[in-house]
Homo-oligomer: A and B are copies of this chain.
């Protein structure tokens, strides 16, 4: 039952027989993290790629001024990790931290390679997955450049309504790229309408 979600996720793009399913799942480990626990810290080499089964992670970076910038939240059914560090096995610039008690499926770099070797169909799966991620990242990055903070906030709320109640305003601000103080002002202004 820990595996239903990931099988369904994979099933969106490729079809697997029973043997393939079992092999695929054998490459993952189930891991649980408490709230605030780190899956990865800047400076470490990313040893795993993650699929969130339950809970919520934040993937973020701390800039020279010490400010936190959240790249994404990974809730149920989302893939995450620091791809650059995972692929090149070089120190990461990112932190990954559980915002809630979370359960993830993690795959190591060597198992990831093995997966492609044994079931080449997974090249297709990840090709499509990355293609889609790319599309939404480009879209988001264009939005960041053309919308003001208030519009970005509205757009986020509309796209991920459930997340508003799971994520603190502080984290929401770090995702939107504004200070918590300014987000607070925006919310007040929006309520007034």
Contact = CB atoms under 8 A, between A and B. Distances in A.
Interface in A101-151: 116, 120, 123-124, 126-127, 130-131, 133-135, 137-142, 144-146
> Which bucket holds chain A's interface residue count?
20 to 34
A145 B70 CA distance: 10
Given A69-B145, A142-B61, A126 B131 contact: yes
Complex copy number for this chain: 2
Contacts of A142: 61, 69, 71
Interface of A: 61, 63-65, 67, 69, 71, 83-84, 87, 116, 120, 123-124, 126-127, 130-131, 133-135, 137-142, 144-146, 177
A56 to B, nearest CB: 19
